[in-house]
Amino acid sequence: MKTTVVGSYPKIPNRPRPAKYRMAIARLQEGKITPEELKEIENEVTVEAIQELVGTGLDIVNDGMIRWEDNQTPFAKGLEGFEIGGLIRYFDTNTYYRQPIAVAPIRFKQPITVHDFKFAKAKSTKPVKPLVTGPYTLARLSENRHYGKFSDFACDLARALREELLALEGAGAEMVQIDEPAILRCPQDAALFTEIIRALVQGVKCPIVLQTYFADAIPLWPTMTALPVGWLGIDLATNPVTWKLVNGWQGGLCLGLVDARNTRMEDFKSFRPKVEKLLSAYGNDRLMLSPSASLEFLPRERAEEKLKRMVAFATEFNKDSSVSNDRVA
Amino acid sequence: MHRCLRTTSVGSLPKPAYLRKARSAHEQGGLSASELESLTKKATREVIAVQKEIGIDVFVDGEMYRGDMATYFAENLSGFEISGLVRSYGNRYYRKPVCTSEVKFKAPITVEWWKFARDLTAQPMKAILTGPYTMMDWSFNEYYGTRSELARALALALREEVKALIAAGAKEIQIDEPAISVRPDEIDLAIESFGRVVKGLEAHFYTHICYGDFTKIYPKILELPADQLDLEMANSGMDMLDLFRKAKFTKEIGLGVVDSHSHVIEKKEEIRDRIRQALEVIPPERVYVDPDCGLKTRSWDEARGKLKAIAEAVSELREELKLD
């Protein structure tokens, strides 16, 4: 049973460690450093984040998305057809993002995340899982001023982002995470969602983790389990009722059991019987443990501590289950 | 004071550069608490003077003594610690309250500042605090089992603050609930918590709501026991008025007519137009006119410009419509 993260990592640590990235952006805004100098600092801070994530003992990491303002902006800037609008609340969090505005047909121009992926891959001793915000969620979180129908907008996004997936695969990605939190809030769009995810992953060979969060996935489960993806990622912290969701899925399950939105440390012992039950249905190779969402909702030190404890839980669990397997053998 | 189209502010106003510098010096141990207090008072006097000069009807103290609207109250209640930095957007970070033990009221939090500001003017002075639902939603909860338990505890503690303000003479009290429209499934909890704060207390109660999906909580939100809902109307293109046409708006409205997050100072004609639109749905004696939200992120010139544009537009409109 492996461990991973599901999104961005807090960009700055707390005192006494310096908030390099925050200071660098402020200095850029004051005209005291150049955009090239900011890039240097971004690279430095990204390497530090990767090292910290690897240091927690995770099996699969990412680059912490240090360079991203939010999950939408890099794709809105990287694709053709978007402008960037004003600040708007991100789901039910107390964080905000700049709303993309579709003003022309959405088209793929060139790879958006591949350069950063290659950089992270070269700097990490553990496999790196890049993240692409899914077409449904990107469409839902954008303002549509171009398309007559939402479905045409989402389908064009799926076609464009498929190119991104193929480019990541070509760059050596062993697994790609697609974030689709918005679909949990719009179960009435299940049929459209199925259509666009099929279009998105068509011809993509590397395993895809379809990641959802911020709500209970049970109502969408029949739809999710019919999708041509290798893994499903679910948030078990927002609503513990989601633990009931186990049946009818032949792929891998990423269990978001660590609450990414509250500093309270989880009682890992309480997870044990639930994970054991899932293990008997799925087996070690088809389960991963992760936080429930991006860890950027937490102060950096608490995020790191939560990851360490999750890894310790997985390690102990794997040891015990291998012992009991030996006994059975 | 005017009876129709009273002008006011949502709460925060920009901190002058000297105060920002002083707050940061104080945080790093380079300035004493009393020195900071005297500069905070100086800034508050300036805030009052600006409102006098512009001719605002209901004053605010500008919140010169506060950092973040949730953290400030958490720091002054029992039961909270303050976390490391978390990012809200772009390069903006804040320290989020962490509830680690039972929430209790210790001593009045804003009363002395309110009295200080009140004594500087004969105009009514609004007292402003952050509501229990928003305090709950914007804190980490390590102590209570559920969100509703934390909201309930906060409501009881904040009720003591409201009682203290009333005892000090406050008649206009605003309890901010900007988080209220974020989770429509918790609207009952939000209304119940607000009710626990104000039940049986005598004052003119306002609440400020922003940045959420108002369509999902209207008209249910009219059950909130406040006299006035202060809403960001400019930022949403006044489209809430359509909702009010479908289901009657039964309270006073705090009509946000200028965008708090834009550098551009709105034209008077634009503001008059927005007010006229509102008057089609709500009678003038139930309309208060203000910016969409707190102006603390604007420069002083922008904040002053926006308030002045509001006051002048209102004054012209009162004359035109022969309102008192």
Position B36, amino acid: L
Q: Which residues of A touch B24 (CB under 8 A)?
A: none
Q: Which residue of chain A has the CA closest to B93?
A: A22
Cβ atoms of B113 and B44 within 8 Å: the answer is yes
Residue in this structure with the two tokens 């009333």, named with its chain if needed: B166
Measured between CA atoms, how close is B288 to chain A, in angstroms? 25
Cβ atoms of A175 and A127 within 8 Å: the answer is yes
Tens of pLDDT, residue by residue over A142-184, are 999 999 999 999 999 999 999 999 999 999 999 999 999 999 9
Q: What is the CA radius of gyration of chain A?
A: 20
CATH of the domain at B178: 3.20.20.210
Question: CB–CB of A10 and B140 under 8 A?
Answer: no
Confidence of residue A244 (pLDDT cuts 50, 70, 90): confident
Q: Which residue of chain B has the CA closest to A295?
A: B86
Nearest to B231 by CA among B211, B217, B248, B245: B211
Q: Which residues of B touch A69 (CB under 8 A)?
A: 89-90
Q: Phi-psi bin for A91: left (phi > 0), alpha (psi -120 to 50), beta?
A: left
Length of chain A: 329
Lowest mean pLDDT among B123-137, B167-181, B229-243: B229-243
H or E stretch including A25? helix A20-29
H or E stretch including A200? helix A190-201
Dihedrals phi, psi of B292, to nearest 5 degrees = -60, -35
Confidence of residue B273 (pLDDT cuts 50, 70, 90): very high
Give pLDDT, residue B52: 98
Distance (Å, whole) CA B1 – CA B324: 9
Confidence of residue A323 (pLDDT cuts 50, 70, 90): low
Question: CB–CB of B83 and A25 under 8 A?
Answer: no
Whether the pLDDT of residue B212 is over 80: the answer is no
Residue in this structure with the two tokens 């053709």, named with its chain if needed: A80
Q: Which residues of B touch A94 (CB under 8 A)?
A: 88, 137-138, 179
Strand partners, B228: B206, B252
Domains of chain A: 2-328 (3.20.20.210)
Cβ atoms of B132 and B197 within 8 Å: the answer is yes
Looking at residue B298, what DSSP letter applies?
S
Does residue B88 belong to any structural domain of this protein? no
Average pLDDT over residues A11-18: 95
Does residue B73 belong to any structural domain of this protein? no
Does residue B103 belong to any structural domain of this protein? no
Distance (Å, whole) CA B137 – CA B225: 20
Strand partners, A80: A107
Own/partner pairs, A124-128, CB within 8 angstroms, 24+ separation: A124/A50, A124/A54, A124/A61, A124/A63, A125/A54, A126/A53, A126/A54, A126/A58, A126/A59, A126/A60, A126/A61, A127/A59, A127/A60, A127/A61, A127/A174, A127/A175, A128/A50, A128/A60, A128/A61, A128/A62, A128/A63, A128/A173
Tens of pLDDT, residue by residue over A105-150, are 999 999 999 999 999 999 999 999 999 999 999 999 999 999 999 9
As a whole number, the mean pLDDT across chain A is 95
Nearest to B47 by CA among B75, B81, B78, B9: B9
Does residue B127 belong to any structural domain of this protein? yes
Question: CB–CB of B91 and A22 under 8 A?
Answer: yes
Distance (Å, whole) CA B132 – CA B191: 10
Maximum average pLDDT range among A175-184, B173-182, B207-216: A175-184
Give pLDDT, residue A328: 42
Measured between CA atoms, how close is B235 to chain A, in angstroms? 10
Average pLDDT over residues A244-263: 91
Give pLDDT, residue A321: 77
3-state secondary structure B33-87: HHHHHHHHHHHHHHHHHHHHHHCCCCECCCCCCCCCCCHHHHHCEEEEEEEEEEE
Give pLDDT, residue A3: 98
Number of domains in chain B: 1
Own/partner pairs, B240-243, CB within 8 angstroms, 24+ separation: B240/B214, B241/B277, B241/B278, B241/B280, B241/B281, B243/B214, B243/B215, B243/B218, B243/B219
Distance (Å, whole) CA B268 – CA B317: 10
Residues of B engaging A, defined by a Cβ cutoff of 8 Å: 83-91, 93, 96, 98, 137-138, 140-142, 179, 182-183, 211-212, 261
Q: Which residue of chain A has the CA closest to B139?
A: A262
Crossing angle for the helix pair B268-279 and B300-321, nearest 10 degrees?
50
Residues of A engaging B, defined by a Cβ cutoff of 8 Å: 10-14, 19, 22, 25-26, 29, 69-70, 86-89, 92, 94-97, 262-264, 296-302
Give pLDDT, residue A281: 87
Secondary structure (3-state) at B114: helix
Residue in this structure with the two tokens 């900011």, named with its chain if needed: A38
Looking at residue A287, what DSSP letter applies?
E
Measured between CA atoms, how close is B282 to chain A, in angstroms? 28
Confidence of residue B293 (pLDDT cuts 50, 70, 90): very high
Secondary structure (3-state) at A148: coil
As a whole number, the mean pLDDT across chain B is 96
Q: Which residues of A touch B88 (CB under 8 A)?
A: 94-96
Distance (Å, whole) CA A216 – CA A301: 27
Cβ atoms of A313 and A271 within 8 Å: the answer is yes
Query: Model-level pTM?
Result: 0.92
Containing structural domain, residue B197 = 6-66+108-321
Give pLDDT, residue A327: 45
Q: Tell me the two tokens of residue A53.
A: 């994530």
Average pLDDT over residues A222-250: 91
Distance (Å, whole) CA B213 – CA A131: 28
Contacts of A115 (CB under 8 A, 6+ apart): none
How many Cα atoms sit within 13 Å of B202 on the Cβ side? 3
Whether the pLDDT of residue A94 is over 80: the answer is yes
Question: CB–CB of B86 and A26 under 8 A?
Answer: no
Q: Which residues of B touch A296 (CB under 8 A)?
A: 86-87
Output the DSSP codes for B190-253.
Answer: HHHHHHHHHTT--SEEEEEE-SS-GGGTTTGGGGSS-SEEEE--TTTTTTHHHHHHHS---SEE
Q: Tell me the two tokens of residue A164.
A: 């991104």
Does residue B97 belong to any structural domain of this protein? no
Whether the pLDDT of residue B220 is over 60: the answer is yes
Q: Tell me the two tokens of residue B271.
A: 């503001």
Give the closest of A86, A89, A263 to B212, CB-based: A89
Whether the pLDDT of residue A197 is over 50: the answer is yes
Does residue B267 belong to any structural domain of this protein? yes
Does residue B80 belong to any structural domain of this protein? no
Q: Which residues of A touch B84 (CB under 8 A)?
A: 13-14, 299-302
Q: Which residues of B touch A87 (CB under 8 A)?
A: 89, 261
